[in-house]
Every structure is written in C-alpha cells, then in structure tokens.
Structure 1
C-alpha cells in the first residue's frame, strides 16, 4: 500500500470534489457539492492549492485540507476552509499526518497563524484539532436560518439603494463585530458580481447596509448606525431583504454580539447550529 501526503496543485478538481462529498456524506450539515460550487467558494476564500494538501492511498485521495492564504488581523494567515477524511479512513491519525506536512510547508511560506471554524458539537474534530495544536478562541459563533417574519411599515423617508461601489470604511463603524474570513471585503473583491450591496438611507444619510449572496441567500454583513438603533430600522432593512430574496441565512454571529443575536431571534430566525473559531 502506497501512502503519500502531497500538495493539491496537480490534483483535478473533480477528484477533490469526489473526496469532499464522500468525506462529508455523514456530516452535521448535508453537502452535495459541485465542482463549480467549490471552485467559486474556494476562490473567494483565497485558497492556495500549493499549500492545500491531500492524503493519497494507492493513488486515490482519501483526505484533504484546503487552505486560504491572506493577511488577517495583521498576520499572514492560513485559513482552513475545509478538512475532510473519508469515513473508512477515520481514526487512523490521518489528520495529524496531513498537518505534519502542511505545517512545515506553511512555515516555509512565512505563514504566522492558522485559523479554522468547527461546528461546536463536533467533539471528535475539536479534539483532533487540539492534538494538532489548535485552541478555541472567544465564544460561540451563532448561525441562523429560516426566512425572517417581519411586518413593519417602512418610513417613507427611508430609501434603499443597490450599489456597485460599497464603502467599507463608512460601514465599519456601524458593526458590532468583525466579519469572519469568508465574509470580508477581500472575499467580495474576488467575485464582486456574486454579491448584492444594499445601502439604507434616511433622507441623504447612510444609516445601514447589508451585503448578501443572492444565489444562496446568505447575508454576509449587515449593520445599523448605532445612533439609529431601537427605532425599527433594522427590521426595515430586513423587510427589504425579505422582499428581494429567499432562503435567507446569517452565519457566524458572535455570542458576545448580544444585540444582533437578539434582533435575529426577534425576526423568527432560528439559531440552528453554532461554531467555534480555533487558532494555532
């Protein structure tokens, strides 16, 4: 039996997709990924296939780690945007073997930090990552689903605009928390056409914004100017979203962002799953 761990730069995406779907066939969240879905998602996550690794048994890929590489919080960081081991090959220390190769390559590349997200009830994965050297940081990241149920009359002075020139510097002071890796302006810059950027104005003043992926309904970022909160403007912003999109979801809201968590629950959205961010 021939075993090797090697970069994925020369591995066809079709083989990576096959292994991905097999590895996630019994996962908490059901996947049936297409090549196009993974190509698009991983391009947005800034995946470097030279620093992503597969575990091969007799020439067949049985496990993998996909790494996005970019500066994050001032440090060159590797973001593990997908890890998978096919079910028959689990419990054999394969994740540790892949990481031995990956860590050496990342250090050689000058990477200073590694980051990942893991579902909070996936205790086996958390233990495996901890053995590799990762530690949980901060608290839970809440994920919400279900179409918001909002019935509010929009202030006639409120106007909504879709813009092709989002002003992230203006948006930043509105936020209560920093967006996670795949929801930053760097991700949007890769595929600007994949996102809709909404601005909410009272007369001519920007008081809120929302960024959404229309194909999936996943809200990437949203916020209301702090001085305009508790006046119903958040619900007006989401009413506009409900009027234009289906299957709305919001991911990775820190439990410390209590106002945002409370707001989403007040719209009828369900906190259906939680994640941890882990760092090494």
Structure 2
C-alpha cells in the first residue's frame, strides 16, 4: 500500500474511485463525471494538498481537499474522503490524514469538514484527530409537486441577476453559509447557476441561487425587514418552476441555530432528511 499526493492523478481515475467508494454510502451519492468536476471546482479542490491510497498502482482511497480562506483564515476543506469497501477497517483513513497533515500545517491554519451525524466511525475518527464541532447543519428536500402554492399582495417582479452584489445580498443572511455554498464557492462556478432577484419598486428584496438541472438551492434569502409577507414562498415557487431538470428540490447545510430559516422550510413542507456537524481542526496547535 502506498500513500501519495494526487497532484499528478487524472480526474477520470479519481472520479472512478470516488464513485466506487461512495456506492454504499449512508446517503445516495450520484455524481456523473461532469458534475463531479464541477463540484471539485466549486469546493476549490487542489490536488497538491490531496492524497491518494494506492494498491499496486491502483487508486483505492482518497482525501480530496479544497483550499481557500474561512473567516479570513487560510483553510483547507475536506471535500470528500473515501475508501473502496475492501480496503476499509485497516486504519487507512487515519494514515492518509497523518501523511497529509504536515504538508497542511506548513500552508494552512485550520482544517474544515462536515460529517453526517449518524456516521459514527467517521465522527469518532475526526474527534480522535482533534476536530471540534463548530455548528450543526440541517439538510432539506421536497418533491417539486409538493411545494405549496404561494400568494402575496405585493407587486413583485423577478429578474435574472448577472452580477451578484454580495455587499447587499449578504445583509439578507441570518448566518454564513457552509464552505460549498460560500461566496467563493458560488463565484467559482457562477455560470452554472441560475440567479434570480425579487424586486419591489425596483429594489431587491430577495434572491435565489440554484441549479435548475438538479433542483439544488444554494441560496434563498429575503431582506430582513420584508419577511413574513410571502416573498420567500413566492421565490421558492419560482425556483421550483424553473428547476425542470429534477423532480426534487433540496438545500444543504442550514445552520441549526437559524430557527427562522428552519421554520420557513418546515412551513413549506420540506423534509429534514440529513443532519451534519461542521467540524474544525486548528493546525499548528
């Protein structure tokens, strides 16, 4: 068995290993090659700071790391850790992390990841490695046909947004998004998203960012002084109508402390199907 950097490995081989490693995962993971590539770009994956597990030259495990900043601190993000079934239970994840850690410590201050709450083996491993829980995150989904019809007495207009004015839009947030929904992540693959603004008297009072092909809602937010007037539900209806590529809508990693947003999805009949921990390891401690 050999542990080495993925910087000279092809995306095709990494995708093949990824697909095999996640074929029996807790939740269904289906990432065709193009979507896999787009996800890696979105998450800022840098193969120089990623590692592979090899058996006689064949890739059988990996840690795929994104790089960037988090709260203005140089950060590495675990975009995916996986091992093909036959190689599990042999402490390879622990060894890959140990081999990689020194390189990370020389370049970054912290290591960020998310783990499904019910994934006890992974959670135990991360705690043993020194990761601490930062936030609990909730994920939601709904069949598009079950999205409640919305009404409002406001004269709202929807317009596609070409350039996202983050200085304004981030004032609509209750809490910062997770890594893969962060401003940096959105901007890396901005051309692949639909971006819609909701306007009242030519002023933006809400916005949504989503993948119409998959039904993934990346952002949905309403100006704080305009809430509880049907704007969010109208925007949700608009996103549902535009997301013709999927029978479902889903959104990941809503901060569990953001009760207002949690209640919004509950009111609109979304199901909370997955819960995760956002965890962080302070390097060089």
Q: How does 1:1-280 map to 2 (within 5 A)?
A: 3-108=1-106, 110-138=107-135, 140-146=136-142, 147=144, 149-155=147-153, 157-246=155-244, 247-280=248-281
Distance in structure 2 (CA, Å) of the matches to 1:77 and 1:102: 14
* Shift in CA distance, 103/265, structure 1 to aligned 2, threshold 3 Å: same
Distance in structure 2 (CA, Å) of the matches to 1:32 and 1:210: 24
Q: Give 1:145 deviation, angstroms.
A: 0.6
Distance in structure 2 (CA, Å) of the matches to 1:196 and 1:34: 20
SS at match of 1:42: helix
2:214·2:243 contact (CA, 8 Å) conserved in 1?
no
CA-to-partner distance for each residue in 1:191-229, whole Å, 9 max, x for gaps? 221011111111122111111122211111111111111
Q: Give 1:156 deviation, angstroms.
A: 5.4
Runs of 4+ in 1 over 4 A off after TM superposition: none
Aligned residues: 276
Distance in structure 2 (CA, Å) of the matches to 1:132 and 1:91: 17
Q: Give 1:59 deviation, angstroms.
A: 1.3
2:152·2:229 contact (CA, 8 Å) conserved in 1?
no
Q: Give 1:180 deviation, angstroms.
A: 0.8
CA-to-partner distance for each residue in 1:220-279, whole Å, 9 max, x for gaps? 111111111112221111122222224211110011010100110111111111111111
Q: Pairwise CA RMSD of aligned residues?
A: 1.3
Distance in structure 1 (CA, Å) of the matches to 2:171 and 2:209: 15
Q: Give 1:171 deviation, angstroms.
A: 0.7
Distance in structure 2 (CA, Å) of the matches to 1:183 and 1:76: 17
Unaligned 5+ segments in structure 1 are none
2:215·2:240 contact (CA, 8 Å) conserved in 1?
no
Output the TM-score relative to the length of structure 1: 0.94
- Deviates most, 183-192 or 98-107: 183-192
1:48·1:67 contact (CA, 8 Å) conserved in 2?
yes
Distance in structure 2 (CA, Å) of the matches to 1:155 and 1:245: 25
SS at match of 1:177: coil
SS at match of 2:159: strand
2:151·2:230 contact (CA, 8 Å) conserved in 1?
no
1:64·1:83 contact (CA, 8 Å) conserved in 2?
yes
SS at match of 1:91: coil
Q: Give 1:15 deviation, angstroms.
A: 1.7
Q: Give 1:152 deviation, angstroms.
A: 2.4
